[in-house]
A and B are shown apart, each in its own frame.
Chain A
Amino acid sequence: MSNAIPEPVTKLIEALGALPGIGPKTASRLTYFLLRAPSELSTNLADALHDLKTKTTFCSNCGNITVDDPCPICSNANRDHRTIAVVEEPLDLIAIERTGTYDGAYHVLHGVISPVNGVGPDDLNIAQLIKRLTEGNVLEVILATNPGMEGDATAMYLRGELTQHSVKITRPARGLPTGGDLEYVDTVTLMRALQGRSEM
């Protein structure tokens, strides 16, 4: 970048450009927008960014992102802690919460087994899951990793690790996407949807 641009400006452009989905153009546009906007906007943003890391932590029980440890879900007595839904990321947990139909507990792995990308079982929050099964009276573990090669492999791996604990292990059903045309659905999804068909 040329010397004509002051250092604080280039610093922010570079910082924003390091975020996923933001290219150099978008980073510049956001930076110049903030330059012209009321300083309150920048202050709020800076505070929010600061709080993000200083005021949050990972729940020592389930791995979810939280302000208090244990997290509100783990410490909620009205939830069914005998059922644990295992998800890849905190965002997957939020997606399940949004359905409003699940009242069990969670466990966040923070990733998925992907040897090709250099991620093995030890890089995930698996040991803590096993600890929870050993300690508590868990009846069911729902392996809610994403459908697909890595999510399926992670679920199969976890099933192997968990069989010695006497819990029911389930995996969410796989079906056809709402609003999609059958002719565009891939072979794997269609086959699994047919295998998992139910009477109506």
Chain B
Amino acid sequence: MSMRPRTFRTPALVLKRRNFGEADRLLTLLTPLHGKFDAVAKGARKPASKKTGHVELFTRADVLIAKGRSMDILTQAEMTNPYLPIREDLIRGAYANYAAELLDRFTYDSDDTYTTTLFDLLDTTFARLCDDDDPRRVIRYYELRLLDEVGFRPELNECVVTHEDVQPTDQFFSFDGGGVVSPQGSAHSAGLVSLPVVTLKLLRHMQRSAYQQVGALTVQDSLHSDVERVMLGYITYILENRLQSIAFIHRIRQFNS
């Protein structure tokens, strides 16, 4: 926990937003230095309020926070990036929801251990979701980076059972072990899912590369589905329940196809 001044100015990403009281909103903000915390934006539901449009969900704003008696109060806000395409495209918006929900679930209030990295990660991910031609690739890359930061980096180079180097053949993945299980090791483990070598290769490439290199890659639909199967399985296992935003993404895909 950091000692926070009574008032401070900070960049913030709006992760969540709930109506509060008569015309206020309760915001969950992610900031580079003070982590994730809730703040009340008074009057923010009134259209003529100076704060209204400046504290929209999944936007970046410069905010002024004052410590109230029981809660933090957002006293001023100026939007610095609206990430417009996220609001104008249902699927890009649904991925933004997922990115925010995932970060929210993996972090605790006011924990500032790795927040600068997390802030930058979500900020860049929102930006990429706006203009990248493959938002699904953006999301997979984001998941791997986020898991790195919060201590759940999947082990893709050595078998988590035998501890031998993983060979370029079809393997298994253990949600419980958090990594690859080789065919040799699989005899001694339960609850494994298959990990075809093409899926493994893409995951390893994404895990060790900068996004510029990953972004140059064209990923076929079938490979996308398989990487998604493994990643969502692993993440759902860690979080111990389903994420609402995943269900929504599947729903939209249904009527787009």
A113 contacts B248, C-beta separation under 8 Å: yes
Q: Is A102 an interface residue (CB 8 A)?
A: no
Closest Cβ neighbor of B86 among chain A residues? A149
Q: Is A103 an interface residue (CB 8 A)?
A: no
Q: Is A191 an interface residue (CB 8 A)?
A: yes
What A residues does B100 contact at CB under 8 A? Answer: 116
B94 contacts A115, C-beta separation under 8 Å: yes
Q: Is A20 an interface residue (CB 8 A)?
A: yes
Q: Is A32 an interface residue (CB 8 A)?
A: no
- Give a binary string over A186-200; 1 marks a CB under 8 Å from any B CB, 0 the rest: 111101000000000
Spot the interface stretch: A6-14, A58-66, A156-164.
Answer: A156-164
Q: Is A43 an interface residue (CB 8 A)?
A: no
Q: Is B82 an interface residue (CB 8 A)?
A: yes
What B residues does A184 contact at CB under 8 A? Answer: 50
What A residues does B104 contact at CB under 8 A? Answer: 116
- Give a binary string over A167-184; 1 marks a CB under 8 Å from any B CB, 0 the rest: 000000000011110001
Do A21 and B52 contact each other (CB < 8 Å), given the known contacts A115-B97, A120-B251?
Answer: no
Q: Is A136 an interface residue (CB 8 A)?
A: no
A188 contacts B84, C-beta separation under 8 Å: yes
Do A115 and B244 contact each other (CB < 8 Å), given the known contacts A188-B84, A189-B53?
Answer: yes
B252 contacts A157, C-beta separation under 8 Å: yes
What A residues does B47 contact at CB under 8 A? Answer: 177, 180
Give the tally of cross-chain contacts (CB within 8 A): 92
A116 contacts B50, C-beta separation under 8 Å: no
- Give a binary string over B144-157; 1 marks a CB under 8 Å from any A CB, 0 the rest: 00000000000000
B82 contacts A21, C-beta separation under 8 Å: no
What B residues does A153 contact at CB under 8 A? Answer: 87, 90, 93-94
Within the assembled complex, what's the spacing in Å between the Cα atoms of A156 and B97? 15
Q: In the complex, which of the residues A115, A117, A184, A185 has the most CB atoms of chain B within 10 Å of its own CB atom?
A: A115
- Give a binary string over B11-52; 1 marks a CB under 8 Å from any A CB, 0 the rest: 000011111111010000000000000000000000110101
Do A21 and B22 contact each other (CB < 8 Å), given the known contacts A120-B251, A153-B90?
Answer: yes
What A residues does B112 contact at CB under 8 A? Answer: none
Q: Is A150 an interface residue (CB 8 A)?
A: yes
What A residues does B24 contact at CB under 8 A? Answer: 21
B48 contacts A116, C-beta separation under 8 Å: no
Within the assembled complex, what's the spacing in Å between the Cα atoms of A185 and B101? 28
A121 contacts B251, C-beta separation under 8 Å: yes
CB distance from B44 to the nearest CB of A (A): 11
- Give a binary string over A96-125; 1 marks a CB under 8 Å from any B CB, 0 the rest: 000000000000000001011111110000
What B residues does A38 contact at CB under 8 A? Answer: none
Q: Is A69 an interface residue (CB 8 A)?
A: no
Q: Is B119 an interface residue (CB 8 A)?
A: no
Closest Cβ neighbor of A180 among chain B residues? B48
Do A152 and B16 contact each other (CB < 8 Å), given the known contacts A118-B244, A120-B247, A188-B82?
Answer: no
Within the assembled complex, what's the spacing in Å between the Cα atoms of A152 and B87? 7
What B residues does A177 contact at CB under 8 A? Answer: 47-48, 52
CB distance from A17 to the nearest CB of B (A): 13
Do A186 and B82 contact each other (CB < 8 Å), given the known contacts A20-B20, A153-B93, A180-B48?
Answer: yes
Within the assembled complex, what's the spacing in Å between the Cα atoms of A161 and B247? 16
Q: In the complex, which of the residues A121, A187, A191 has the most CB atoms of chain B within 10 Å of its own CB atom?
A: A187
> Which A residues are within 8 Å of any B CB, using their own CB?
20-21, 23, 113, 115-121, 148-150, 152-153, 156-157, 160-161, 177-180, 184-189, 191
Q: List 30 A-B contacts (CB under 8 A).
A: A20-B20, A20-B21, A21-B21, A21-B24, A115-B247, A115-B248, A116-B15, A116-B16, A116-B97, A116-B104, A116-B244, A116-B245, A117-B18, A119-B244, A120-B247, A120-B248, A149-B86, A149-B87, A149-B93, A156-B90, A161-B255, A177-B52, A180-B47, A180-B50, A184-B50, A186-B54, A186-B56, A187-B79, A188-B82, A188-B84
